[in-house]
Amino acid sequence: MYKQTYLCEIVEKKQLAPEIIDMTIKSKELAADALPGQFLNIRCGDGCSTILRRPISICDVDPAADTLRFIFQVKGSGTQFLEAKQCGDTLDIMGPLGSPFHLLEKVDGDVILLGGGIGVFPLFLLAKSIYEKGVKPTAYLGFRSADLVVMEAEFKQYTKDVKVSTDDGSYGMHGYATAYLINHIKNKKVGLVYACGPEPMLRQVQSICHENKVRCQLSLEQRMGCGIGACLVCACKIKKQEGFAYQHVCKDGPVFWSEDVVFGGE
């Protein structure tokens, strides 16, 4: 059986916050295979004047209903194209792509999910998957401001605890979600951290986990071409015995073990 691109009908569309759109699409094939941390590569135009597909994480999946959900922030032309789509319209999607979060059979200590901004969305399917294995993770979610805070109640269903921070202090703790992580590590044994968000946040998570010898998986972002590992544009630095080697976010990632990731110079 060859892989293909799927034309998927949009069955639900909601605006969760300013410029944050929640979309559900129908696809038996995509829903059957989707794992937490994987992404969809969605055509956002005619494929000719706008060539590149946009990578968007899988936020939730319902295999019984053959549906898949993703949430995106409207940024440029591609996400504007998506925003303009309505229920009943179809999207041309490749997926599920990338290597998922690793779920460990046994974790010695608490499991923490740390999300920043759009990095919060892929953690939802992860929370559900961990919960279904009989473990309740703790979620620390960071947003820019109160109006952008989403999914707090949804995360509560599958976690021990959810705490929210905002950069401007307009909701929850004033500051970055990483402060919750530092605090948690101080008070309790943490077995595993999963993090997704902007690079400065991931760098911080990496150094916190390194200092405290806590295992951690990071989900990275990079600009993509093919989305399947053929064009080598989505490079990220991964540690080797001497120095580093470039691996590729679309295929080797987006999820990597934190100790393997080398963040760039700038």
Ligand X SMILES: Cc1cc2nc3c(=O)[nH]c(=O)nc-3n(C[C@H](O)[C@H](O)[C@H](O)COP(=O)(O)OP(=O)(O)OC[C@H]3O[C@@H](n4cnc5c(N)ncnc54)[C@H](O)[C@@H]3O)c2cc1C
Ligand Y SMILES: Cc1cc2nc3c(=O)[nH]c(=O)nc-3n(C[C@H](O)[C@H](O)[C@H](O)COP(=O)(O)O)c2cc1C
What residues make contact with ligand X under the rule CB under 6 A? 39, 52, 54-57, 70-73, 75-79, 118, 121-122, 221-223, 254
136 vs 237, beta carbon nearer other proteins: 237
Task: Give the C-alpha separation, 74 to 81, whole Å.
Answer: 9
- Structural tokens at position 264: 């760039």
Q: What burial letters (b/e) apply to 210-234, b meaning 16+ CB within 10 Å?
A: eeeebbbbbbbbeebebbeeeeeeb
229 binds ligand Y (CB under 6 A): no
- Residue of this chain nearest to ligand FES (CB atom): 250
> Contact letters (x/-) for other proteins, 211-230, by CB under 8 A?
-----------xxxxxxxxx
> Contact letters (x/-) for ligand FES, 193-222, by CB under 6 A?
------------------------------
Place of tokens 């009908």: 9
User: Which stretch of DSSP H or E encloses residue 156?
Assistant: helix 152-156
262 binds other proteins (CB under 8 A): no
104 vs 235, beta carbon nearer ligand Y: 235
Candidate list 20, 30, 53, 219; residue touching other proteins; CB under 8 A: 53
Task: Give the C-alpha separation, 78 to 55, whole Å.
Answer: 10
- Residue of this chain nearest to ligand Y (CB atom): 231
How many residues contact ligand Y, by CB under 6 A? Answer: 3
CA-nearest of 190, 194, 170 to 256 is: 194
Query: Which part of the chain contacts ligand FES (CB under 6 A), choosing from 11-19, 130-138, 153-161, 227-235?
Result: 227-235
Task: Give the C-alpha separation, 23 to 15, whole Å.
Answer: 9
225 binds ligand Y (CB under 6 A): yes
206 phi and psi, to 5 degrees?
A: -60, -45
Q: In angstroms, what is the minimal distance from the CB of 239 to ligand X?
A: 20
CA-nearest of 108, 112, 119 to 143 is: 119
Per CB under 6 A, residues contacting ligand Y are: 225, 231, 233
